[in-house]
Each structure stands twice: as structure tokens, then as C-alpha cells.
Structure 1
């Protein structure tokens, strides 16, 4: 999420929650040494070339929980301008987030999925676009769940956005973005009307970029969760959802290891369906046949989940 021009939510808090668009699997021991207890990761429709590890995958979720940490999640594709928001876009986001949480991650019922509003929306934009978007999210949840939604809806954004959605009964959790200059954010923080508050500045340690977040000391619940860490269960449950399509125009090289320094051992054509076992440091481990055997590695930036 954009961190330009942002100031932190002031005060004395425990700095044990982070959010990041990067895979944390190989950084968990170091994060634990910092006292991190919860990691906030992303759901989306598809990753971008600039953020090829943005979406939380099952293997990472299991690694996080196996290391004694909790998870929280936010859905964000772009959501950084008003044109990203409409009722129909909310329905699509709600369906995708709910299905991915339930079918791919095994997120437990009663926990939260936050949805990002990553810009300083005005009153008019909230009424015309943001409120319809969150009404669409609720409809998307109802459609997938058969009118029995098992996840709570949260919002990441400004104080004004959060307050407007709360008044309409559309969200149960509030995560204030770190921009104190956004409408209503300073007031919401001062009044304690939030569950989480993102901190500035962004941090980069041991090769991982992340933001710190603090929990409202008066409201301990913010919708976090844990999942089972049984990896043998994970392979069976996630097999159908690990299908990826090669989107590189001229095809994609298959390498012996995760990096350009490893030998090229084959290639994949544009549009080819492959199975991805894990994505780490921007490199996907590839199973060409879907038989559980590793065939090589390829750049995750040129793969799209189907």
C-alpha cells in the first residue's frame, strides 16, 4: 500500500503486527526474533509483475501458523482510485475473497477479511462508489455462502471511509491507513474508533519490506486467525487451485534452480497450464504434469493463477 506522505498513529503500543506484500516463509525466524505475533497478508485476483508474491498462498499460511504466529488478511487488487469501486466490482471482490479464503487457505469462520480503500475518498466518492462497493462485497459473500456468510468484513482506509461504512452497518472491523492527512483519520484514531492502525514509516529488514501495525488496546479482536499446518493435507486440498497459466508472450524458461544463475533445462509455451508448488523470492517451483514431482523453477511474474 502506498506509504508516501504518511505519518504514524502516535502513542505507546506494542509493535508486534506487520503487513507485507511479500512472501515471509523464509523470514519467519527473524520476524519471530523481533517479537512479531501476527502477519497481515493479501488476497487478490492476480499478482502483478512488481509484486509477484502479493497474494497469500497456502504453504506460506501454514508456515506462518506453524511458527506460532497468527494471520490476518486484506483483499486488494488496486483499490487506489475511485474508478476501482462500484457495486459490481464489490460483488466480484466479495466472491473471490470468500472463495479463496474458504477453498484455498482454509480460513476459519468468524475471522475477518479486510477490503482496502487505498486513497483519500471524499464524501461524494464514498456515497457514489465506496458504499455500493461494500454492499456488493456483502452480496458476493451471500452468493458464495448461500446467504450464510462465515467471514466478517473489515475495511482498510481513512477515518471518514471507515466511519461511513460503520454507520451503514457494512463493516465490523476498521484498519486505519497510516496517512494521518486522510479525511477523518486523525479524529478516528484520537477517539479510539479503530481495530488496527498502520504505522509509518515503512520498514525494510533482512530483505523484507513491511509496515508495522498496532491494535487498539481497548478492542483486542481484529479478526486474526490460525490454520492447520498439516502440509500433507495442504497438497491435497490445494491441488486444483495451484494451476497457473504461462502469460509470457514468447514463452517461459524452466531453470534448474530459483534464479537466473541456474541453467535452463526446458521451456513452457504461452498459455501452457502448469502446477505451482510454492512461490519464494519471485520464483515458482514448477510441477509440469500435476503429479506432485518438481520439474524446475520459473519466474512467477510470468504466471497467472487460473
Structure 2
């Protein structure tokens, strides 16, 4: 499969969908969270899909420090993300929900609170689906975090953060072990002449990124 180009944004892209596709954007990454103004909506998902854009999603609230992560938080976030995907968006089975680890964690952080968090997500998915989870679990984070969680089978997919100074990130990028990779922020001009501040992303041409469209 070819490498495709995309972007991630924490704001609604409905009115820009056609313009983004015209600028050779293939997919957009949007959010699930407790903040409705940040979240992908059903209307937006339909507009993006109708414009020919694929969609990816990431759950992110406060995952910027080790104290946020634990099993109970994983259970809560996994359940909330699953319900948004299944009941609000109709996200197709087999696609991915990424969960953000948005800092540079130590290996001790990854092996203890972060692993407990992702174990909680997995259990929440199993509970929500009666043991037949519809969605794949992905991690957004450093190279070390992505590599470790995948090796320990706590995540199936990885989205490598743009922060090249994070532990293991340069090696992970060089190895092309990621499903998605994020680049440094940029601005793109859209149809109304304004600029959007976004983070560019790309898929790995040898791996699925768990993206989707809806009807």
C-alpha cells in the first residue's frame, strides 16, 4: 500500500473537508475526549468521508505526566472512547482508537503506570463488546513507549510523536516500525483564504494505520 499524507487537528474540519482533499490530504486525525468541542462529531465524520478523506481517532485528555496513568483511568478512558466510537460515530469494526501518552516517559513509567493504563483499556474494550472487541488499540507517543507497548502486546498500532528528542524516537522512526508518524506543526491555507495550524502526519506504506470512513 502507498504512503499517504494527513494531518491532525483538535478542532472541527467539516467546512474545510473538500479543500483539504484538493490539497492532496488523504486523511485526518481527530479526537475523542471529555470535551465535546474538541471531539469528532458524526456530522464531521460524514463530511470528511464524503470528501474522500479517511479518518483516524485518538483519545487524549490529560496524559502528559506519569501520575495520570493507572488501571482505573484506563478502564474509564477505554469505556468512554469505545462508547463514542460505537454509539456516537458508528466507527467501523477493525479500525483503531489511539490513546495518547503525550510526554517523554521513562521505561519505569512505561512498564508500570502506563502499562496498567493500557491493560485497563483492553479490559474496557472487552467488557463493552462482550469479549469480542471491535476496535484495535493504538498508542501515540515516544519511540520507547510505542516499541515497549507493542512488544508487550498492550497495543497493536503505534503513532510516533513529532518530538524527535523523546527516548527511542529517532531509532523508531528510522526502523519504520510505526503505523503513523507525526511531523512538526505547520500552517496550510484553506478555501476561505485563512490558515489552519495543524500537525502533518503520514502513514507507513507497509502497515495499516487503522483509518476508516463512514456512510
Give the structure-1-normalised TM-score: 0.66
Q: Does 1:26 align with 2:15?
A: yes
Per residue, is there more helix in 1 or in 2? 2
- The aligned residue for residue 257 of structure 1 is none
Q: Distance in 1 between matches of 2:54 and 2:126?
A: 26
Q: Distance in 2 between matches of 1:17 and 1:223?
A: 13
Query: Once the two structures are superposed, what CA deviation does each residue of 1:205-245 show, in whole Å capped at 9, x if it has no partner?
Result: 334221110111222x10000101xxxxxxxxxxxxxxxxx
Q: Does 1:134 align with 2:121?
A: no
Q: Does 1:77 align with 2:61?
A: yes
Secondary structure of the 1:73 match is strand
> Residues 44 and 104 (structure 1 numbering): CA distance in 2 closer, same or farther, change over 3 Å?
same
Judge conservation of contact 1:165–1:171 (CA < 8 Å) in 2: yes
Of 223, 230, 233, 2:210 maps to 223
1:202: how far off?
A: 3.4
Judge conservation of contact 1:22–1:209 (CA < 8 Å) in 2: no
Q: Distance in 2 between matches of 1:192 and 1:14?
A: 12
Secondary structure of the 2:76 match is helix
Of 167, 175, 178, 1:194 maps to 178
1:204: how far off?
A: 4.9
In structure 1, the gaps of 5 or more residues are 1-12, 48-52, 229-306
1:15: how far off?
A: 6.5
- The aligned residue for residue 28 of structure 2 is 39
Secondary structure of the 2:138 match is strand
Q: List structure 1 runs of 4+ shifted beyond 4 angstroms.
A: none
1:107: how far off?
A: 0.3
Q: Distance in 2 between matches of 1:212 and 1:146?
A: 36
Query: Once the two structures are superposed, what CA deviation does each residue of 1:125-158 show, in whole Å capped at 9, x if it has no partner?
Result: 1122110000000011011111110100000000
Using the TM superposition, name which of 148-157 and 193-202 deviates more. 193-202
Higher relative contact order (CA 8 A, sep 6+): 2
